[in-house]
Structure 1
């Protein structure tokens, strides 16, 4: 599997894992304090070949993703569930610990943010009704929903935006929520 776009990762170990799993070039952010020079390189890569943001499913990874989204709004995104990025010894979390197959699957399921304005299909009321915000089990349900839809974990504020930006349809949302609800019953 050869990837045309440049994949943005956090560090050298992530680059090694990406190159082991797929043929791709990377840009390393070297932590969550992304320099202006690194942002310029990412913007340039987006113009020339496109960019896929593929960061760890933790706070620093989400912070990096948010910074890049702000400066490079049309960058694509790949996500891996936290469970797939835990080190074998249980001490560590990151793309570098994921299997080659999990990396390939995440890169095959890349999301491209929508650029055209379209009506928002999924409302905040839908999120409340689905117990994804303002509910004691909301965080766990958002985690499961993010995995089911391949959009990664989000907090309550980010979920509505990410569903819209990645073009999740009302039907996809309903199907994923129904699957969560069926799991709750078992």
Structure 2
């Protein structure tokens, strides 16, 4: 099963690279295919990172504009999605640095032992449909409270489906630092949701 999934991902990556090369050679329909395939995930990435739909739209459009400008020099040394999200990540950094002089994206976390790439499925196991909905809402709120680097790493992992290695390439930090960020985010989210759920439970 795992091998089949990896094969599917590899086939998708190769298809994206072919489309990008075709677009670089002048095939505009190839760009449209890439745009339709990745527009949803990329837009959600910006919305969740910024919390501002207008800003997210601006950064989203600028990302695709940079893809168009860079098409001629595109190389297949990295997966298209890794390349695309690295552009998005760099635009986000540029925006944050323009607004806030302190670099919120600095690598300020110690590198510790390897961690799982996902939270275990039983961490937020619902007792009912109502609890599931409440905890999902609490989780979204807790994600917004994460430090910027942890939040981005978590969203790239859980929402965009990138591996820790791919995220390390996108944000240009070490694999160990990326795994630490995922681990810290998982721990913080678990504690945050548990605390907020306790508050909800006490109000009943």
Report which of the two structures shows the higher radius of gyration computed on alpha carbons. 2
TM over 0.5: no
TM interval, shorter chain, is 0.3 to 0.5
Quick check: which one's helix share is greater? 2
